[in-house]
Structure 1
Amino acid sequence: MKQLRASQVYIIMMFVTALANSTMFTTYAIYYVTELGLTPFQLVLIGTVLELAVLVFEGITGVVADTYSRRMSVIIGMLVMGIGFVLEGSVIWIVEWSTLLPVFIWMLIAQLFFGIGATFVSGAETAWIVDEIGEDKVGTLFMRSQRLALFAALIGIGLSVGFSTLAPNLPYIIGGMFYVGLGIFLLVYMKETNFAPQQKEAHVSPLQAMADTWMSGIKVVRRQPLLIMLIVVTIFIGAASEGYDRLRETFLINEIGFPQHIPFSMAVWFGILSAVSTILGLVAVRVMEQKLDMSDKRAVTAAMLLLFAARIGALISIALSTSFVWAMIGLLLISVIGILSHPVYNTWLNMNMESKTRATVLSMVSQADAFGQTAGGPVIGWVGSRFSLRASFILAGVFIMPVLVVLRRFISSNPRE
Structure 2
Amino acid sequence: MLGNTLAASLIWGINTIFLLDAGLSNFEAFAANAAFTAGMVLFEIPTGIVADTVGRRASYLLGTVTLAVSTLFYVGLWQVHGPFWLWLAASVLIGLGFTFFSGAVEAWLVDALTSTGFQGSLDSVFGRGQIVSGAGMLVGSVAGGWIAQHSSVGVPYLLRAGVLVLMFGFAAVVMRDLGFTPERHGSTGQEMARLARQTIDLGWKVPPIRWLMVQALVTGGVGLYAFYALQPYLLELYGDPHAYQIAGLVAAAVALAQMVGGMAAGQVRRIARRRTSALMAISAIAAAAMVAIGSVDSFGAVLALTGLWGLTFAAFTPVRQSYLNGLIPSKQRATLLSADSLMSSAGGVWAQPALGRVADVRGYAASYLVSAAISAVAVPLIALSRRANAPADSYESTGASSVDRS
TM surpasses 0.5: yes
For residues 174-213 of structure 1, give each alpha carbon's deviation from its aligned partner in whole angstroms, at most 9, with x where no partner exists. Answer: 012111221222122111132112242xxx3232123212
Match of 2:125 among 132, 135, 141: 141
2:144 maps to 1:153 = no
Is the CA contact 1:43–1:246 (under 8 Å) kept in the aligned structure 2?
no
Provide the residue aligned with 2:107 in structure 1: 127
Moved more, 284-293 or 349-358: 284-293
Provide the residue aligned with 2:41 in structure 1: 55
Match of 2:310 among 331, 335, 340: 335
Counting only pairs closer than 5 Å after superposition, residues 5-404 of structure 1 correspond to structure 2 as 14-33=1-20, 35-93=21-79, 95=80, 102-134=82-114, 136-137=119-120, 138-164=122-148, 165-200=150-185, 204-254=186-236, 256-258=237-239, 266-292=243-269, 299-404=274-379
Moved more, 83-92 or 219-228: 83-92
C-alpha spacing 1:102/1:278, structure 2 compared with 1 (3 Å): closer
C-alpha spacing 1:193/1:281, structure 2 compared with 1 (3 Å): closer
Is the CA contact 2:17–2:232 (under 8 Å) kept in the aligned structure 1?
no
| Shift of residue 307, structure 1, vs aligned partner | 1.5
Query: Aligned letter for 1:109?
Result: A
| Shift of residue 229, structure 1, vs aligned partner | 1.0
| Shift of residue 409, structure 1, vs aligned partner | 4.2
Equivalent-residue separation in structure 1 for 2:228 and 2:138 (angstroms): 21
Query: Aligned letter for 2:141?
Result: I
For structure 1, list consecutive stretches of 5 or more residues without a partner in the other structure.
1-13, 96-100
| Shift of residue 322, structure 1, vs aligned partner | 1.6
Query: Aligned letter for 1:80?
Result: T
SS class of match (1:374): helix
Is the CA contact 1:315–1:397 (under 8 Å) kept in the aligned structure 2?
yes
Equivalent-residue separation in structure 2 for 1:412 and 1:301 (angstroms): 10
Is the CA contact 1:319–1:394 (under 8 Å) kept in the aligned structure 2?
yes
Equivalent-residue separation in structure 2 for 1:80 and 1:32 (angstroms): 20
Query: Aligned letter for 2:361?
Result: R
For residues 199-251 of structure 1, give each alpha carbon's deviation from its aligned partner in whole angstroms, at most 9, with x where no partner exists. Answer: 42xxx323212321221222112442111111111111224234323322222
| Shift of residue 136, structure 1, vs aligned partner | 4.8
SS class of match (2:44): helix
| Shift of residue 367, structure 1, vs aligned partner | 1.4
Q: RMSD over aligned Cα, in angstroms? A: 2.5
SS class of match (2:89): helix
Aligned length: 387
Equivalent-residue separation in structure 2 for 1:315 and 1:24 (angstroms): 23
Is the CA contact 1:63–1:214 (under 8 Å) kept in the aligned structure 2?
no
For residues 130-180 of structure 1, give each alpha carbon's deviation from its aligned partner in whole angstroms, at most 9, with x where no partner exists. Answer: 111128544322111211222222221342133212221111110121112
| Shift of residue 293, structure 1, vs aligned partner | 6.0
SS class of match (1:355): coil
C-alpha spacing 1:285/1:68, structure 2 compared with 1 (3 Å): closer
Equivalent-residue separation in structure 2 for 1:207 and 1:394 (angstroms): 44
Provide the residue aligned with 2:399 in structure 1: none
TM-score (norm 2): 0.87
| Shift of residue 336, structure 1, vs aligned partner | 2.1
- Aligned-pair identity (%): 24
Is the CA contact 2:53–2:183 (under 8 Å) kept in the aligned structure 1?
yes
TM-score (norm 1): 0.85
Equivalent-residue separation in structure 1 for 2:99 and 2:57 (angstroms): 13
For residues 54-95 of structure 1, give each alpha carbon's deviation from its aligned partner in whole angstroms, at most 9, with x where no partner exists. Answer: 1111111112211221211111012111211222233333x1
Moved more, 398-407 or 117-126: 398-407
SS class of match (1:76): helix
Equivalent-residue separation in structure 2 for 1:212 and 1:220 (angstroms): 12
For structure 2, list consecutive stretches of 5 or more residues without a partner in the other structure.
397-406
C-alpha spacing 1:113/1:412, structure 2 compared with 1 (3 Å): closer
C-alpha spacing 1:291/1:334, structure 2 compared with 1 (3 Å): closer
C-alpha spacing 1:348/1:393, structure 2 compared with 1 (3 Å): same
Is the CA contact 1:90–1:173 (under 8 Å) kept in the aligned structure 2?
no
SS class of match (1:194): coil
SS class of match (1:37): coil
C-alpha spacing 1:103/1:366, structure 2 compared with 1 (3 Å): same
